[in-house]
Amino acid sequence: MNLRSLTLFTHVFGTLLLFSTLVLEWFVLALIRTADTMPPLLSLRALAALPRLTGVAALLILLSGMRLTAGGALRVPWIAVALAAMVIIGVLGAAALRPLRRSIQDPPDSRAEAVAAWKRHASSPFARASLRMRIAAALAIVYLMIGKPALVTSAVIVSLALAIGAVSSVIRSRV
């Protein structure tokens, strides 16, 4: 096994870890939304671990990606768009989960109020839209890695993915 193979494995592993964190978030939010009483402690711990896991995934992707491109990443148009999409994914995730994480860290006095607050935050339209938009953007990044399109095409692909993610959450909430 050579260094390039190990670097490529690290890149793929980081991508799989990123998608795993998105799936974990989906399940945890669903558990919190549907809980009649306190959600399982494991789901709350998983939610607390999501930022660290996502950070590790992003770090693995970025470091291995820089190695794979030998430092010329920003000169390649699709990579610049993919990096911008990763920033968008991070910002959307932080903004969507911050209210829920804060209410878990500093819960209201009564258990019923805490559960109601957690359900409200987990059910917010922005939390749902953010998750779908991040999944769509991550899939768009994978497509960019495979297709290696030009700058404008790359930007259109990521923009369409974000729009599809947002629209799908609106359509899903009306059904």
Q: How confident is the model at residue 111 (pLDDT cuts 50, 70, 90)?
A: confident
Confidence (pTM): 0.90
- What does the alpha-carbon distance between residue 60 and residue 73 come to, in Å, rounded to a whole number? 15
Question: Is the pLDDT score of 142 beyond 50?
Answer: yes
For range 47-64, the mean pLDDT: 94
d(C-alpha 12, C-alpha 154), whole Å: 20
State the greatest distance between any 2 C-alpha atoms of the chain, in Å, as a whole number.
57
The pair of structure tokens assigned to 86 is: 């990763």
Mean pLDDT of the chain: 90
Q: How far apart are CA 92 and CA 99, in angstroms?
A: 12
Looking at residue 71, what is its pLDDT? 64
Average pLDDT over residues 153-174: 90
Contact 99, 124 (CB under 8 A): yes
The rounded percent of the chain whose pLDDT value lies above 70 is: 95
What is the pLDDT at residue 73? Answer: 62
Look at residue 36 and give its three-state secondary structure. coil
pLDDT tens digit string along 66-81? 888 876 666 789 999 9
Instruction: Place 174 in a pLDDT band, splitting at 50, 70 and 90.
Output: low
pLDDT tier at 175 (50, 70, 90 boundaries)? very low
The pLDDT-based confidence of 173 (bands split at 50, 70, 90) is low
